[in-house]
């Protein structure tokens, strides 16, 4: 084996400078392009004022929003009132004055009655995890977390004072003011002059199957199953199975029925839009292909028509048809249909222009009618390719249909957008995204499998 020493390599490089060092012009172009890109990015940074926007962003809340995708909070509120406590919950909570979560121990005064949405209590102990306890008595709060204790007394003047030192997990901006304690993911609390707000976060989706108004709410899977299959009728009007199904579909928090309906609309939009576009583009492509229709005027007119349909964006079509037909899937179908007739027309006519002419010649030589020439001489060659292209777009249109839905063209897009705008339903967003991902995944696989069967082997894109 021959080995080169450094000196040899140097000598060879000196002898053939053009081979080793490459042209300076090329490397100059490389540097110029890189410098241009960097300059452009600097310009873009300024143009979009990226720095200011990122700095002004509400990053603290981003974590909460992300956590909301897969978890939920229960927020009881304990108010100090005339030497006793009032426990209440936010408006849309699953818990009410007569129904408390099991991690909240409430000692009720003898003979007390629930007034409105508030439950009276002498003492409330909240257990957040195993090492955290919040013990609330009138005008006094004792919080134990991670072996440290926070002892808070509230004076009649509503001034808040701490006995001993403030642990690291609690903050008080100034003496006498509110105290905020944070236990990480599990939750936290805020002590004000007149009440204590507790947050306890749980992993998972709250009330995914049954909302709090359902008789099945709060029951374990086993209990629900035994009720559904063998229990007494909970509602005399219908069987338990029907009741359970009805409760799931009409779940007020997750709106399963509506979400599924909107998802079906999105799927239908993509399916019908793509199918109609293929059916209309197919004959038009024959007019556009210059080897099939030997008339340059017809070719050009059809091709420019395709370009027009394609270049008026799907968004414009979607907004246009939403105005014309009202919000809903018909607008979405029309938008996909118009845009994709243009795209398919272009692709199909290109496929037709690349066919092998021998089969048509054969058909013509045996005296076949013009229609038969196309049917037997052209269609068998291109059909698999055309169908495969349509299938490919069917899958990608399912994604597009989601987006144009958000401008009013029907389907799950709008529902998704509404859920995001409220900033409190991120778990519903996660649920819909999951459904969309599943649908796209299934369609992707169906379309790939069909395409493989049609054109065999690796798909050609």
Residue 1 binds to other proteins (criterion: CB under 8 A):
no
Total residues interacting with other proteins, rule: CB under 8 A: 74
> Angle 217-221-226 (CA atoms, 0-180°, nearest 5)?
95
Q: Which one, of 191, 172, 182, lies nearest residue 64 by Cα?
A: 182
How many whole angstroms separate alpha carbon 398 and alpha carbon 403? 9
Q: Which two tokens stand for residue 383?
A: 């059909």
Contact with other proteins (CB under 8 A) among 89, 436, 447, 451:
436
The strand order across the sheet containing 104-107 reads 104-107, 123-128, 132-137, 140-145, 148-154, 160-163
Contact with other proteins (CB under 8 A) among 103, 169, 202, 271:
271
Q: Which two tokens stand for residue 282?
A: 């197919």
- How far apart are CB 367 and other proteins at their closest, in Å? 23
- How far apart are CB 334 and other proteins at their closest, in Å? 10
- How far apart are CB 321 and other proteins at their closest, in Å? 9
Q: Coil, strand or helix: which one is 171?
A: strand
* 48/92 with CB nearer other proteins: 48
- How far apart are CB 312 and other proteins at their closest, in Å? 6
Residue 320 binds to other proteins (criterion: CB under 8 A):
yes
- Report the run of H or E that residue 321 belongs to, with start and end: helix 314-325
How many whole angstroms separate alpha carbon 249 and alpha carbon 201? 26
Strand pairing category for 77-81 and 84-88: antiparallel
Q: What contacts 316, CB < 8 A, 6 or more positions away?
A: none
- How far apart are CB 64 and other proteins at their closest, in Å? 10
CB atoms within 10 A of CB 423: 11
Residue 331 binds to other proteins (criterion: CB under 8 A):
yes
Residue 454 binds to other proteins (criterion: CB under 8 A):
no
Q: 427: burial class by Cβ within 10 Å (0-12, 13-18, 19+)?
A: buried
CB of 372 closer than 8 Å to CB of 381: no
- How far apart are CB 184 and other proteins at their closest, in Å? 21
Residue 358 binds to other proteins (criterion: CB under 8 A):
no
Taking CB under 8 A as the binding criterion, the range among 78-86, 133-141, 205-213, 435-443 that sits at the site for other proteins is 435-443
The residues in 128-157 that bind other proteins, with binding defined as CB under 8 A, are none
Taking CB under 8 A as the binding criterion, the range among 78-86, 156-164, 290-298, 314-322 that sits at the site for other proteins is 314-322
Taking CB under 8 A as the binding criterion, the range among 168-176, 246-254, 295-303, 327-335 that sits at the site for other proteins is 327-335
- How far apart are CB 396 and other proteins at their closest, in Å? 5
How many whole angstroms separate alpha carbon 304 and alpha carbon 292? 17
Q: What contacts 169, CB < 8 A, 6 or more positions away?
A: 145, 146, 148, 181, 182, 183
Residues 167/173/175/177 CA torsion (nearest 10 deg): -110
The residues in 273-312 that bind other proteins, with binding defined as CB under 8 A, are 275, 307, 311-312
Contact with other proteins (CB under 8 A) among 329, 342, 345, 377:
329
Q: What is the contact mask toward other proteins in residues 399 to 418, using x (rule: CB under 8 A)?
A: x--xxx-xx--x--x--xx-
The residues in 53-112 that bind other proteins, with binding defined as CB under 8 A, are 53-54, 56-59, 61-62, 65
Q: Which one, of 134, 148, 223, 259, lies nearest residue 186 by Cα?
A: 134
Q: How far apart are the first and last CA of the chain?
A: 44
- How far apart are CB 243 and other proteins at their closest, in Å? 26
Q: What is the contact mask toward other proteins in residues 208 to 247, using x (rule: CB under 8 A)?
A: ----------------------------------------
* 341/389 with CB nearer other proteins: 389
* 240/428 with CB nearer other proteins: 428
CB of 377 closer than 8 Å to CB of 366: no
- How far apart are CB 246 and other proteins at their closest, in Å? 20
Q: Which one, of 449, 442, 435, 448, lies nearest residue 402 by Cα?
A: 435
Q: Which two tokens stand for residue 131?
A: 């090492």
Contact with other proteins (CB under 8 A) among 301, 437, 442, 449:
437
Taking CB under 8 A as the binding criterion, the range among 83-91, 202-210, 241-249, 264-272 that sits at the site for other proteins is 264-272
Length of the chain: 461
- How far apart are CB 18 and other proteins at their closest, in Å? 17
């Amino acid at each position: 084996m021959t080995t080169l020493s450094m000196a040899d390599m140097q000598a060879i490089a000196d002898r053939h400078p053009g081979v080793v060092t490459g042209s300076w012009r090329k490397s100059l172009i490389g540097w110029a392009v890189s410098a241009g890109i960097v300059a452009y990015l600097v310009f873009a940074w300024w143009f979009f004022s990226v720095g200011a926007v990122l700095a002004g962003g509400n990053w603290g809340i981003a974590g909460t929003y992300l956590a909301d995708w897969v978890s939920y909070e229960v927020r009881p509120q304990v108010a100090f009132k005339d030497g006793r406590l009032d426990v209440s919950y936010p408006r849309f909570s699953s818990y009410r004055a007569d129904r408390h979560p099991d991690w909240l121990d409430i000692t009720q005064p003898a003979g007390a009655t629930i007034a409105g949405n508030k439950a009276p209590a002498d003492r409330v102990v909240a257990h957040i995890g195993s090492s955290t306890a919040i013990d609330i008595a009138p005008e006094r709060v004792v919080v134990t977390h991670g072996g440290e204790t926070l002892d808070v007394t509230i004076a009649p003047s509503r001034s808040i004072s701490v006995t001993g030192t403030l642990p690291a997990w609690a903050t008080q901006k100034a003496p006498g003011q509110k105290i905020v304690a944070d236990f990480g993911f599990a939750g936290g609390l805020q002590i004000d002059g007149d009440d204590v707000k507790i947050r306890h976060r749980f992993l998972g989706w709250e009330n995914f199957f049954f909302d709090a108004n359902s008789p099945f709410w709060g029951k374990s899977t086993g209990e629900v199953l035994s009720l559904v299959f063998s229990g007494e009728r909970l509602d005399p009007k219908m069987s338990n199975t029907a009741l359970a199904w009805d409760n799931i579909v009409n779940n007020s928090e997750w709106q399963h029925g509506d979400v599924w309906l909107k998802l079906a609309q999105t799927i239908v939009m993509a399916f019908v839009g793509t199918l109609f576009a293929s059916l209309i583009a197919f004959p038009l492509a024959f007019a556009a292909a210059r080897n099939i229709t030997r008339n340059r005027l017809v070719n050009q007119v059809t091709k420019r028509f395709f370009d027009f349909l394609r270049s008026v964006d799907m968004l414009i079509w979607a907004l246009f048809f939403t105005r014309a037909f009202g919000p809903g899937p018909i607008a979405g179908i029309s938008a996909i249909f118009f845009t994709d007739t243009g795209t398919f027309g272009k692709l199909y006519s290109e496929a037709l222009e690349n066919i092998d002419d021998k089969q048509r010649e054969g058909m013509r030589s045996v005296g076949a009618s013009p229609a038969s020439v196309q049917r037997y001489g052209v269609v068998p060659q291109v059909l698999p390719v055309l169908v495969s292209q349509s299938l490919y777009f069917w899958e990608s249109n399912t994604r597009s249909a989601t987006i144009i839905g958000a401008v009013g063209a029907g389907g799950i897009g709008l529902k998704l957008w509404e859920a995001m705008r409220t900033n409190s339903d991120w778990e519903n967003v996660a649920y819909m995204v999951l459904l969309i991902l599943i649908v796209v995944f299934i369609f992707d696989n169906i379309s790939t499998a069909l395409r493989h069967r049609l054109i065999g082997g690796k798909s050609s894109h």
